[in-house]
């Protein structure tokens, strides 16, 4: 380990420790009972909690550190309880809005270019290749996500969403991203993308069904392994995630409407959506600029420390492995 890497690791460890101490201090003064569980259908969540969780969603959805893990872990540290799969999936629609906002021109170009290529039967055109890659790359996560819905109906309380599982996934993905950072050639840019890139990154996207893995983390890692530049891997990761995240959010939102909700619950969902959209846009802008000139080692060390801190907290009884 170099001196700079050691300094980064020390700084991250210090920040994480101070952050967790801050969470505990906030928890001590919070009005919500430590054992409370919150959900968009519960009156226990207030608008400030919804806005805060929307911010967490926005800041972590596209940065390769797992939004699902942070939406589970941070409320647990605060004593609010697990917000649940439904709230997490629905506020992701705010993140989708941010992607549409930021990549609108790219999406229009890809759509128009792909349609024109189909009319000309020019199936080697890059826009067609990218559109087909996004479509085919979405199928694996839809298939396995559907199986998960069928065979693990009580996914909210599944061991797969336990704090220990999240910590283990975070540590494992930090190692994989580190290997990809070391071995990736990073010679291919956005104009070199083809259908196989979408398929390969789409297969990696399936791993994100496990909280703690990170959808952007798994796809960016795959992108680095297949030789993409860091910023290109991130951009294509965001575009590839559009169909899957949108469908997941819509399905969960329809479920919320069918189950019924209180007026304040709908307000909480709306606040969470808006907050997630704003902070998602800011994180997209920052990450793409960051990866144009820097490596992913910041996220690798963060993920490693994040997982270790959670396991340490479980071992010391600071939090439960729920």
Give pLDDT, residue 119.
Answer: 95
Beta bridge partners of 228: 188
Helical H runs in 79-125? Answer: 84-102, 104-120
Tell me, what's the pLDDT at 18? 39
**CA-angle at 254, arms to 33 and 96, nearest 5°:** 85
Binning the chain into helix, strand and coil, the percentages to the nearest 5 are 80, 0, 20
> What residue ranges of the chain have pLDDT lower than 50?
3-43
- Residue 314 and residue 317: Cα distance in Å, rounded? 5
pLDDT recorded at residue 260:
61
Task: Name residue 188's beta-bridge partners.
Answer: 228
The contacts of residue 128 (CB under 8 Å, 6+ apart) are 113, 114, 117, 118, 122
How is residue 81 annotated by DSSP?
Answer: -
Please report the pLDDT score of residue 29 as a whole number.
38
Cβ proximity of 131 and 110 under 8 Å: yes
String of DSSP letters for 180-215: HHHH----B-GGG--HHHHHHHHHHHGGGGSTTS-H
Q: What is the pLDDT of residue 22?
A: 43
- Is 31:255 a contact under the CB 8 Å cutoff? no
What's the rounded Cα separation, in Å, for the pair 302 and 66?
A: 11
Q: What confidence score (pLDDT) does residue 3 get?
A: 46
Q: Which of 212, 168, 166, 174 is nearest to 296 (CA)?
A: 174
Residues 202 and 165: their CA atoms lie apart, in Å, by 22
* Whole-number pLDDT of residue 182: 96
- pLDDT of amino acid 142: 93
Give 80's DSSP letter: S
For the chain, the structural domain boundaries read 38-315
CA distance 132 to 123: 10
DSSP letter (8 states) at residue 317: T
pLDDT digits (tens, 9 = 90+) for 96-137: 999 999 999 999 999 999 999 999 999 999 999 999 999 999
Give the CA radius of gyration of the chain. 20
Count helices and strands in the chain by DSSP H and E runs: 12, 0
- Cα 37 to chain centroid distance, Å, stands at 22
């Amino acid at each position: 380990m170099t001196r700079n890497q050691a300094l980064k690791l020390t700084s991250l460890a210090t920040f994480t420790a101070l952050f967790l101490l801050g969470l505990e201090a906030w928890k001590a003064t919070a009005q919500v009972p430590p054992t409370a569980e919150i959900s968009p259908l519960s009156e226990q969540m207030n608008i400030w909690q919804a806005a805060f969780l929307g911010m967490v969603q926005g800041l972590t959805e596209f940065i390769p550190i797992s939004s699902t893990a942070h939406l589970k872990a941070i409320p647990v540290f605060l004593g609010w309880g697990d917000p649940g799969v439904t709230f997490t999936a629905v506020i992701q629609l705010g993140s989708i809005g941010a992607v549409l906002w930021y990549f609108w021109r790219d999406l229009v170009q890809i759509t128009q270019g792909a349609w024109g290529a189909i009319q000309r039967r020019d199936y080697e055109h890059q826009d067609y290749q990218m559109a087909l890659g996004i479509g085919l790359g979405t199928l694996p996560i839809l298939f396995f996500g559907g199986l998960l819905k069928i065979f693990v109906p009580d996914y909210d309380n599944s061991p797969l969403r336990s704090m220990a599982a999240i910590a283990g996934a975070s540590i494992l993905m930090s190692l994989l991203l580190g290997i990809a950072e070391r071995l990736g050639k990073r010679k291919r840019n956005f104009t070199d993308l083809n259908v196989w890139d979408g398929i390969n990154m789409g297969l990696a996207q399936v791993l994100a069904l496990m909280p703690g893995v990170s959808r952007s983390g798994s796809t960016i890692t795959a992108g680095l392994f297949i030789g993409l530049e860091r910023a290109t891997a991130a951009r294509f990761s965001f575009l590839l995630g559009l169909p899957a995240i949108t469908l997941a959010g819509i399905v969960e939102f329809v479920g919320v409407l069918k189950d019924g909700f209180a007026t304040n619950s709908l307000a909480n969902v709306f606040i969470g959506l808006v907050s997630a959209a704003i902070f998602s846009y800011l994180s997209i802008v920052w990450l793409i600029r960051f990866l144009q000139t820097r490596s992913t080692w910041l996220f690798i060390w963060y993920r490693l420390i994040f997982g270790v801190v959670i396991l340490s907290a479980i071992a010391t009884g600071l939090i439960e492995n729920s």
